[in-house]
Structure 1
Amino acid sequence: MNAAIAQMRELAPKFQLTKESLPRARHLPGMVYSSEDIYALEKERIFMTHWLSVGRVEEIPNVGDYMTFSVMNEPIIISRPAPDEIRVCMNMCLHRGVAVASGCGNAKDFSCPYHAWLFDVGGRLIAAPGMKESEVDMTGASLTQLPVKIWRGWIFTNFSESPQPFEEFIEPYEEKLWWFQSGECRLADKVVIDVKCNWKFLVENLIDIYHVGVIHRSTFGGFVKGEKIGFQLERDGGWHTQYEARPHSKGGQQVFPTLPWAQDKSPGIACKAGIYPNLNLSMRADSLRMWHVWPVSPNETRIICYLLFPDNAFSIPDYEAELGKYREFVKQIIAEDAVMVESLQNAAASKFLKPGPMSPLEGALHHMEQHYIDLMTREA
């Protein structure tokens, strides 16, 4: 970490340019998107300290259901050991650290494939073959448990030993995000795409209204008037906004039934929000989306976009065909963005890159980049 801290100190003068007022500010220096040392520091200061959404409760609806996941190479199991209980634990056997589960499914227990130590679905150690002569007391032992909170159908966890209270973390969004009633929707599908760029480029791209009318002009860019969009900024890099657009389809026509809580709103209603570090929430009159941006390496990122509809959407005529069109529309939008963010990544490591000035349309991005600087430059 010393190398990363040294790099952050070296970048201090450039960070000051980002922290200027918006009309005078410049974007972050390229090194923060390309340095392996800074990436490692981001893991410790951001992803190992913040509350993270790692899935939907409906993905593990039955007792014994589980799914595995990895956050910056930290493997976890998300499971349902009882009807009203969801647990998240480290996917590391208590003997040597081997993963005891893989993929997803339903199980009565997890058996380590290396030495057959056995754990129940909640992570409690059941048996440790060949250990009778050991004098180490393993009574009540369990896979390392992480805290769990459920918010509007999403499973949140935190890797910190002393995490910020979840209620404090989510408070800025409880009342203001009236439109993101994802607990009242059902999961229709997930779109998973890997992009060859640093995770921050994608988080920034998801709030960059400036580019929408340019690279998305053939999909939805013509429906969004970026210069008329105002952002409400929240603490810790958060933001949200409401504006006029059109439903999410290639021609802009509404296909799925209107969300119950949007019945009295304009059919062109559009809402977006960002919860730091890696969540982007989006609404149109007939649907919700939750974008998760997961770092894989300094120059690789995985996007998982959850597509959610109200119950009555699942019984419309030709539902599967319409869902297919919706899914492909989302994929096309991501593909349009991928070309640009991968080009950004190519430039990030160049000694010739001088971060450009920010546009007045980049106020939310400016707000988030300043928060990033605060997190990464604080004294250890």
Structure 2
Amino acid sequence: MQTAEHQLHDLRPKFKNTQQKLLTARHLPGEVYSSPEIYALEKEKIFMKYWLSVGRAEELPNVGDYFTFKVMNESIVVSRPTPDKIVAYMNQCLHRGVEVAEGSGNAKEFSCPYHAWLYDVGGNLVLAPGMKASEVDLKNCSMRQLKLHIWRGWIFVNFSADPIPFEEFIAPQEESLWWFKTDDCKLAGKVVIDVKCNWKFLAENLIDIYHVGVIHKSTFGGFVKGEQLKFHLEPNGAWHTSYEARPHSKSGVQVFPTLPWAEDKPSGIACKAGIYPNLNLSMRADSVRMWHIWPISPSETRIVCYLLFPEAAFSIPNYEAEMEKYRSFVTQIIAEDSVMVESLQNSASSKFFVPGPMSPLEEALYHMENHYIDVMTTE
């Protein structure tokens, strides 16, 4: 079996087809969406190096609150050990590596279910029973801590021991995303759906304006004039755009109060942005959605869509019923996309698959696919 490095070497001629100018370029070869070896290399080159949003600070309001999370099978704990601090660390007992926490909740300590090593909620070792005779110094030990930064209410972590400074990573978004003020929003809920396709197909689909008027014509596709979009391309695969649409509801009628920072904007304001590798930000006049794309396997991906609204939205009449309609609308959009991206996945593993040419409407995909090539082929 070929290694991932050998596969990437063999794919370099095909990558050149993607690296041509947009109007003559072709999409990425199917192997990068179907190869287990390349999937494993993506973990090392992308997900273990980039800053990743794993949740909202408001999900941990109280001391002792925690949740567990997995990034490409790497298990972590995110917790609030003190009122003014949130931490993240590997969910691995220092003895044999067993996960010490599960799910989410509130705790004062975690006890390893295997040998009862005890940790405080910040991941620090408190007690190691049966180890008094050991000559290993276990004082001041903790499970491996991850770098962590909170940006506009979002908890970002990084698995690397020496990551790019977060401020440098996020700088393009700080300068350009005037509309992304989710630290002034409140979380209404999440939509979580697993889709049988490679993570890149979903990340690309969320910025593929080309398909909107086709697949989504019965939901929101008729409101979006894709040919009018102008993408602003940022370093490291990031991008953003603004365009005219309608409020995010099946009828196109705005239900929730307008975001405070959009009150002077047209009711049809729509903004989107991408932060590489797996975030897609979307705003309409009354709400913001944060799409997280998490790889589960080479051919399976989890979508976690956070639904955020201004504080005033939570006191409107019939709030619960209106929010359920909103959630159903988002779920329907994902369902419409799922059929197509699962078909893409089937073709990606076919020996007869030939990547097609790019449309001018796929400028942001072109930008992101070429960033992927740069990341994967850089030594």
Report the TM-score range of the alignment, normalised by the length of the smaller protein. over 0.9
Measured after TM superposition, the shift of residue 378 of structure 1 is 1.0
Question: 1:128-277 maps to which residues of 2 (within 5 A)?
Answer: 128-277=128-277
SS class of match (1:347): helix
Percent identical residues = 73
- Counterpart of 2:289, as a letter, is R
Which residue number in structure 2 is paired with residue 29 of structure 1? 29
Instruction: Supply the distance in 2 between the matched residues of 1:83 and 1:138 (Cα, whole angstroms).
Output: 27
2:92 aligned with 1:92, yes or no? yes
Size of the aligned set, in residue pairs, is 379
Instruction: Supply the distance in 1 between the matched residues of 2:196 and 2:322 (Cα, whole angstroms).
Output: 30
- Counterpart of 1:9, as a letter, is H
Segments of structure 1 that go 5 or more residues without pairing to the other structure are: none
SS class of match (2:288): strand
Map Cα deviations across residues 189-245 of structure 1 (whole Å, 9 max, x no partner).
100000000000000000000000000000000000100001000000000000000
Segments of structure 2 that go 5 or more residues without pairing to the other structure are: none
Instruction: Supply the distance in 1 between the matched residues of 2:330 and 2:340 (Cα, whole angstroms).
Output: 16
Measured after TM superposition, the shift of residue 339 of structure 1 is 0.2
Instruction: Supply the distance in 1 between the matched residues of 2:66 and 2:189 (Cα, whole angstroms).
Output: 18
Question: 1:288-307 maps to which residues of 2 (within 5 A)?
Answer: 288-307=288-307
Instruction: Supply the distance in 2 between the matched residues of 1:248 and 1:91 (Cα, whole angstroms).
Output: 38
Instruction: Supply the distance in 1 between the matched residues of 2:33 and 2:247 (Cα, whole angstroms).
Output: 33
Which residue number in structure 2 is paired with residue 43 of structure 1? 43
Question: 1:282-321 maps to which residues of 2 (within 5 A)?
Answer: 282-321=282-321
Which residue number in structure 1 is paired with residue 322 of structure 2? 322
2:72 aligned with 1:72, yes or no? yes
The RMSD of aligned alpha carbons is: 0.8
Instruction: Supply the distance in 2 between the matched residues of 1:171 and 1:37 (Cα, whole angstroms).
Output: 33
Measured after TM superposition, the shift of residue 2 of structure 1 is 7.2
Measured after TM superposition, the shift of residue 160 of structure 1 is 0.5
Measured after TM superposition, the shift of residue 107 of structure 1 is 0.2
Instruction: Supply the distance in 2 between the matched residues of 1:175 and 1:251 (Cα, whole angstroms).
Output: 34
Instruction: Supply the distance in 2 between the matched residues of 1:359 and 1:67 (Cα, whole angstroms).
Output: 42
Instruction: Supply the distance in 2 between the matched residues of 1:217 and 1:254 (Cα, whole angstroms).
Output: 19
SS class of match (1:14): helix
Instruction: Supply the distance in 1 between the matched residues of 2:167 and 2:300 (Cα, whole angstroms).
Output: 32
Instruction: Supply the distance in 2 between the matched residues of 1:9 and 1:81 (Cα, whole angstroms).
Output: 46
SS class of match (1:175): helix
SS class of match (1:145): coil
- Counterpart of 1:271, as a letter, is C
Instruction: Supply the distance in 2 between the matched residues of 1:73 and 1:120 (Cα, whole angstroms).
Output: 23
TM-score by length of 2: 0.99
Instruction: Supply the distance in 1 between the matched residues of 2:313 and 2:175 (Cα, whole angstroms).
Output: 26
SS class of match (1:302): strand
Instruction: Supply the distance in 2 between the matched residues of 1:344 and 1:209 (Cα, whole angstroms).
Output: 16
Measured after TM superposition, the shift of residue 353 of structure 1 is 0.5
TM-score by length of 1: 0.99
- Counterpart of 1:123, as a letter, is G
Instruction: Supply the distance in 1 between the matched residues of 2:2 and 2:151 (Cα, whole angstroms).
Output: 37
Instruction: Supply the distance in 2 between the matched residues of 1:327 and 1:378 (Cα, whole angstroms).
Output: 41
